[in-house]
Amino acid sequence: MLRAVAGLLHPDAGRIALDDDVWFDAARRVRLPPERRAVGLVFQDHALFPHLTVLRNVAFGGTPERARELLERFGIAPLADERPPRLSGGERQRVALARALARDPGVLLLDEPLSALDAHTRAVVRGELAAMLRELTIPALLVTHDHRDALALADRIGVIVEGRLRQVGTPAELLRAPADPFVATFTGANVVRGVAPGGAVLAVQPWDVRVTLVEPSAKWSVPGLIEAIEDEGPRARVRVGGLVAEVPTSDATHLVIGARAWAAFDDAHVIG
């Protein structure tokens, strides 16, 4: 999709336009080359020139004056004379974004912009990128396989599977009413099959699941061994019986991997 918008490939059918500027129209045989499309593209691996300074990398997409302005805007002006190999993951991300914006594009395309980062850096840069995108006055189209990135960065999400669009909606809409089990799984929900009468498929978000070492009286509960406990600061993710619960870290201090427990949730939190 990103390559089609950027003009790097041509679909068999359809139309691509930014406002009234038509970039591609199969029926009318309109095919603007990439250099005539107002596109800023941030690649998955950032694709910075390692032999050029930060300033020259950004200026490659525009003028030196515009490059310096963007370096100031993104808080990386002190790095102007550094080269990409000496930068952190977050710094490289900001340089790549500045370079994409240096040509004053009409749309920003981001291809898995956080996938090359480690878990800790990814969380930090995700917050920075969310703030940057909110400041921009142009549309941005982002591709990601990580539901946390999508939920944190997007105003609207389209879930595409094998070339077919499963659902389009706001993050809240996808969390509240996923169209099918795949969309529910993508949002991070637990999908439970064959539990309800008639073998229905149910879903429940991790933060709506509680973990107890004593069999609960709740209508919905799944027994099993505690398979994993992941400390994520103020919250902990606990896997029990194939379900993931997200609980306050203080509630997980008494839990031990291998212990028998129950993952329980209430009717009000069942999706499906």
Summarize pLDDT for 3-33 with one digit per residue, the tens.
Answer: 999 999 999 999 999 999 999 999 999 999 9
Residues 176-188 have a mean pLDDT of 90
Q: What is the mean pLDDT of the chain?
A: 89
Q: Which two tokens stand for residue 158?
A: 């389209």
pLDDT recorded at residue 199:
57
User: What residues does each domain of the chain span?
Assistant: 38-155, 191-269
CA–CA distance, 175 with 183 (Å, rounded to integer): 9
Q: For residues 263 and 271, which has the higher predicted lDDT (pLDDT)? A: 263
Q: If pLDDT is split at 50, 70 and 90, which confidence band does 88 have?
A: confident
Strands 157-161 and 21-25: unpaired
Q: If pLDDT is split at 50, 70 and 90, which confidence band does 194 have?
A: low
CATH fold of 38-155: Rossmann fold (3.40.50)
Residues 92-100 have a mean pLDDT of 88
pLDDT recorded at residue 106:
92
CB proximity list for 229: less than 8 A, separation 6 or greater: 236, 237, 238, 239, 252, 255, 257
Q: Which two tokens stand for residue 251?
A: 């509630």
pLDDT recorded at residue 97:
87
pLDDT recorded at residue 258:
93
Q: pLDDT of 59-69, one tens digit each?
A: 987 888 899 99
pLDDT recorded at residue 196:
52
Question: Which pTM does this prediction carry?
Answer: 0.77
CA–CA distance, 236 with 12 (Å, rounded to integer): 47
Domain 191-269 -> CATH class? mainly beta
CA–CA distance, 197 with 66 (Å, rounded to integer): 63
